[in-house]
Chains A and B, each alone.
Chain A
């Protein structure tokens, strides 16, 4: 196992270098660099000053030189400086991470609480009306354009019924303590519901199909023929095995927890990392975009390793040598 882990960790290095090069290359293609963005606010800037600025930031150098420099800095833990926000990138991300984690973790927890019992119930009553309704809702969940679903939620709950604010993060001037917590929760309700619905729609299908798979196994028949109660068969024998693939799915969701929900955060004006990524890509703040994209990519690669390890740990039949 240790050898296997070491091997996988070593393989991650060229993969991450490849990913970072591709991302850097893509970003270098996109028009507009931080200086262009910077001078847009002041059209009277002298052309020579622009040259000087670009030179100062090293933007006049070829892509490959800039990439090597970026790689050197990043490996040492320096993510760079955002010209748009006039802040170090690491500080910018650190400021937004709590907001994103609050949103995505609430959404994921809600999704789990919905999807696991519903998925199991649907599997136990396959081809029943409930099963069909659950299937239909789940299809609805991943066929709906997320940004539109967000807009519709805003329309129903904020515009028509005026139950919650239409977007944003907090009301200005709310007293700290409990009033602030309640205020934040009101703002988080809709975006968290969107994240939860979408995630639950994906999860419920996995839970349902892996429960069906587990119920088909020989050991279930054995357990039943031993005369065990159906409750015991379902809870002890089927459920434990059915939830194993779920561990994989959940560990693969880790990147989304930190990377945030770019579309949902943008629609609701939620100041998280996902919104930061979208804004920095759209506005040409490439240093921030690169940092965010790379953090997500590292998490994706690490999560897939974690999923394999977790699976081997949970399933005694799997051995990595």
Chain B
């Protein structure tokens, strides 16, 4: 059993490295995380003080991406915002994917009334317009890092739950699970050693794709003024006032969006590559 599993993951790794967009995506994502973490240490600008003599400097020497309406360096703020946006995206998707996996297992494995109830709940959450619901929830929970993460988790778990439930229902019927039941394996053992390893590949794919979705959702919520609040920067709230200055300082609108686009794109390419490399039925 053991060598086969390592063989599978080795094959996945080999395929992933050969998938050009996915490797580029992975390298870019790691690079973005390093850039975000280095922040002011790299650019040498402080963003916690207002410099009225330096407002709206266009991109150029000294300020590579210009300065904003308070004279703060846009590049430095972009890096600091990256910490927030990436952290929100990664933490929120980790939690919501775990939650979705638990719900999916509960519904798919135990079945009966629990399945009926949880399936209805999944259906309800899938049918409501999630963006507006996120706005409502963000208004209730207030602003800040924790509440935006809670909002994203609350309306992000059901996709994984639906997927995991379906997979568990499918795999549960296979012979090797029956065999495990016959030799007296406990439910716990069946779930952890027999079902989970088989459900894991699609979960990894959705997790990767969900990071991009979460970053997009966070930026949209913050753009509408309900997410992360200034002076803490996030890519979304940097764009909040940008439309006002579109005539005089278009760089304020352009760069945060490019940061979001590159990040989401890199996670989506990674997810796409993982889907191809995790699928054992594909030969290449």
Residues in chain A within 8 A of chain B (CB atoms): 14-15, 18-19, 22-23, 26-27, 29-32, 139-140, 142-149, 151-152, 154-155, 159, 166, 259, 262-263, 266-267, 277-278, 281-282, 284, 289, 292-293, 296-297, 300-301
Residues of B within 8 A of A266 (CB): 224
Residues of A within 8 A of B250 (CB): 155, 159
Residues of A within 8 A of B260 (CB): 144-145, 148
20 A-B residue contacts at CB 8 Å? A19-B128, A23-B133, A31-B139, A139-B272, A140-B265, A142-B268, A143-B265, A143-B268, A145-B216, A145-B223, A145-B239, A145-B260, A151-B257, A155-B250, A281-B136, A284-B139, A292-B132, A293-B133, A297-B127, A300-B127
- Shortest beta-carbon distance, A96 to chain B, in Å? 15
Do B265 and A27 touch across chains, with their CB atoms under 8 A apart? no
Known contacts A142-B268, A263-B220, A300-B127; is-contact A155 B132 (Cβ 8 Å) = no
Interface membership of B212, Cβ < 8 A = yes
| Cβ contact of A147, chosen from B120, B133, B223, B261, cutoff 8 A | B223
Residues of B within 8 A of A15 (CB): 120, 123-124, 127
Interface of A is mostly: helix
Known contacts A31-B139, A282-B135; is-contact A19 B220 (Cβ 8 Å) = no
A262 to B220, CA, bound (A): 11
Do A144 and B261 touch across chains, with their CB atoms under 8 A apart? yes
Residues of A within 8 A of B129 (CB): 259, 277, 293, 296-297, 300
Nearest 10 CB-CB pairings of A with B: A148-B257, A143-B264, A29-B140, A143-B265, A30-B139, A18-B124, A300-B127, A30-B140, A281-B135, A296-B129
Residues of B within 8 A of A301 (CB): 127
Do B132 and A154 touch across chains, with their CB atoms under 8 A apart? no
Known contacts A15-B120, A31-B140; is-contact A159 B128 (Cβ 8 Å) = no
Interface of B is mostly: helix
Contact mask B249-265 → A, CB, 8 Å, 1/0? 01001101100110011
Stretch at the interface among B11-19, B42-50, B240-248: B240-248
Do A278 and B135 touch across chains, with their CB atoms under 8 A apart? yes
A-B contact count (CB 8 A): 126
In chain B, what residue has the closest Cβ to A280? B132
In chain A, what residue has the closest Cβ to B267? A143
Residues of B within 8 A of A289 (CB): 132, 136
Q: 13 new A-B pairs (CB below 8 Å) besides A19-B128, A263-B220, A284-B139? A: A15-B123, A19-B124, A140-B265, A145-B220, A145-B264, A147-B219, A148-B253, A159-B246, A259-B129, A277-B132, A282-B225, A297-B127, A297-B129
A300 to B128, CA, bound (A): 8
- Shortest beta-carbon distance, A2 to chain B, in Å? 23
- Shortest beta-carbon distance, B215 to chain A, in Å? 9
Contact mask B110-153 → A, CB, 8 Å, 1/0? 00000000001001110111011101110110000000000000
| Cβ contact of B224, chosen from A142, A144, A278, cutoff 8 A | A278
In chain B, what residue has the closest Cβ to A295? B129
- Shortest beta-carbon distance, B78 to chain A, in Å? 13
Interface centre among B120, B133, B219, B243 (most CB of A within 10 A): B243
Interface membership of B157, Cβ < 8 A = no
Do A139 and B254 touch across chains, with their CB atoms under 8 A apart? no
Interface membership of B269, Cβ < 8 A = yes
Residues of B within 8 A of A293 (CB): 128-129, 132-133
Residues of B within 8 A of A154 (CB): 243, 246
A16 to B106, CA, bound (A): 24
- Shortest beta-carbon distance, A250 to chain B, in Å? 18
In chain B, what residue has the closest Cβ to A147? B223
Residues of A within 8 A of B242 (CB): 151
| Cβ contact of A26, chosen from B127, B133, B226, cutoff 8 A | B133
Do B140 and A26 touch across chains, with their CB atoms under 8 A apart? yes
A46 to B242, CA, bound (A): 39
Residues of A within 8 A of B219 (CB): 145, 147-148
A296 to B261, CA, bound (A): 28
Residues of B within 8 A of A292 (CB): 132
Residues of A within 8 A of B135 (CB): 278, 281-282
A266 to B260, CA, bound (A): 20
Residues of B within 8 A of A14 (CB): 120
Known contacts A19-B128, A145-B260, A301-B127; is-contact A155 B224 (Cβ 8 Å) = no
Do B220 and A147 touch across chains, with their CB atoms under 8 A apart? yes
